[in-house]
Amino acid sequence: MKELREKILKEGKVCPNNIVKVDSFLNHQVDVSFLKKIGAEFYSRFKNEKVDKILTIESSGIAIACFVAECFNCRLVFAKKGKSLNQSKDFYEAKVFSYTKKEEYDIRVSKEFLNESDNILLIDDFLANGAALNGLAKIVEDAKANLVGCGIVIEKGFQSGGKELRDKGIHLESLAIIDNADETKQTIEFRN
């Protein structure tokens, strides 16, 4: 998505550990008019699929998921982060290791909001090692729902998450794929 790549180049900052900060429009301040375009782009890429529900993770996935769900005219569910509830019967749970924060956390979704008949589209802001997406995919599997695909705003192509998901045959759409991010030079290179 050309407009997204331009926005990342204009507003993004490369931080240590290859972290690309885009908190001026995506995950702290939210540029709502731009996110509506992001939502429309995901819709155009998945509109031939049946999508009953959007699933994301708090917090930075929520705003994006809102505008995707608006396009599909469906509900969204956001997985909650927190300590495990010790295999609660009321929740689907998964463990996620955060690359940014170097710590493991649990995500959970109330069983009443995922049904066997649901066709689920996963949405998130970043894909690096795929830990968060794999956690969400496990929850969809545990719910015996159907995983339609994954929509990611920014994929870090130099990490393995995207390749692994594609190798599994999952329909993954990343609106921008960063192949190189140099903190010293503050340069970002995208995949064509």
Q: Is 189 in the site for a second copy (CB under 8 A)?
A: no
Q: How many residues bind a second copy (CB under 8 A)?
A: 29
Q: Is 66 in the site for a second copy (CB under 8 A)?
A: yes
Cα 116 from chain centroid (whole Å): 22
Q: How far is the CB of 1 from a second copy (least distance, A)?
A: 20
Q: Out of 2, 16, 73, 192, which residue is the one contacting a second copy (CB under 8 A)?
A: 73
Closest CA to 180 of 3, 9, 11: 9
Q: Are strands 172-182 and 187-190 parallel, antiparallel or unpaired?
A: antiparallel
By beta-carbon proximity to a second copy, the closer residue of 47 and 75 is 75
Q: How many CB atoms lie within 10 A of CB 105?
A: 18
Q: Out of 18, 37, 52, 70, which residue is the one contacting a second copy (CB under 8 A)?
A: 70
Q: Is 62 in the site for a second copy (CB under 8 A)?
A: yes
Which residues 114-173 are close enough to bind a second copy by CB under 8 A? none
The Cα–Cα gap between 11 and 108 comes to 33
**In whole angstroms, how large is the CA radius of gyration of the chain?**
16
Q: Out of 42, 43, 67, 92, which residue is the one contacting a second copy (CB under 8 A)?
A: 67
The Cα–Cα gap between 121 and 100 comes to 24
Residue position matching structure tokens 């180049």: 9
- Encoded one letter per residue, x for contact with a second copy by CB under 8 A and - for no contact, window 80-109 reads x----------------------------x
Q: Is 32 in the site for a second copy (CB under 8 A)?
A: yes
By beta-carbon proximity to a second copy, the closer residue of 33 and 117 is 33
- DSSP one-letter string for 115-179: -TT-EEEEEEEEESS-HHHHHHHHHHHHTT-EEEEEEEEEEETTSSHHHHHHHTT--EEEEEEEE
Contacting positions for a second copy (CB under 8 A): 23-24, 28-33, 35-36, 58-59, 62-63, 66-67, 69-70, 73-78, 80, 109-110, 112-113
